[in-house]
């Protein structure tokens, strides 16, 4: 891109629609272990490694699933076990999604938040020989 403006440097914020701001905030902070930044009325902002999750309450008739969020973790099996112990219902166990030519493997495990949004754990795993 030939421009006088610097390129995109990352994602700053992701918005999720929620039915209940307090319930969703508790899920992301207490269950997933993320940090609550601040709330303003029916809006809550959660820190996810420098990317803000913006939880926006909407009336039931306006709610719809938001984009899936994939949380990068270093040990998907350990994170999966921990979240299951915290009551998170996964749709299945961590599983291989793709193996790159280099041998690097992409693993994922899917679950939903308290509001019905699809979330996932994801990890890149270098197989041991």
CB neighbours (10 Å) of residue 119? 21
Token pair 């041998």 is found at 103
pLDDT tens string, the chain, 129 residues long: the values are: 555 777 777 889 999 999 999 999 999 999 999 999 999 999 999 999 999 999 999 999 999 988 899 999 999 999 999 999 999 999 999 999 999 999 999 999 999 999 999 999 999 998 876
Encoded tokens for 4: 């006088």
Domain at 13-125, CATH class: alpha beta
> Is the pTM for the entire model greater than 0.85?
yes
- Please state, in angstroms and rounded to a whole number, the distance separating the CA atoms of residues 2 and 46: 35
- Please state, in angstroms and rounded to a whole number, the distance separating the CA atoms of residues 70 and 38: 22
């Amino acid at each position: 891109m030939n421009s006088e403006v610097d390129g995109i440097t990352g994602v700053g914020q992701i918005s999720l629609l929620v039915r209940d701001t307090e319930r969703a905030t508790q899920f992301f902070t207490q269950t997933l272990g993320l940090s609550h930044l601040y709330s303003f009325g029916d809006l809550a902002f959660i820190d996810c490694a420098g990317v803000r999750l913006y939880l926006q309450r909407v009336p039931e008739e306006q709610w719809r699933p938001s984009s899936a969020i994939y949380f990068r973790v270093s040990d998907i099996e350990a994170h999966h076990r921990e979240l299951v112990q915290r009551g998170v219902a996964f749709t299945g166990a961590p599983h291989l999604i793709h193996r790159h030519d280099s041998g690097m493997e992409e693993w994922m495990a899917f679950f939903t938040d308290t509001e019905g949004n699809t979330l996932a754990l994801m990890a890149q795993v270098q197989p041991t020989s």
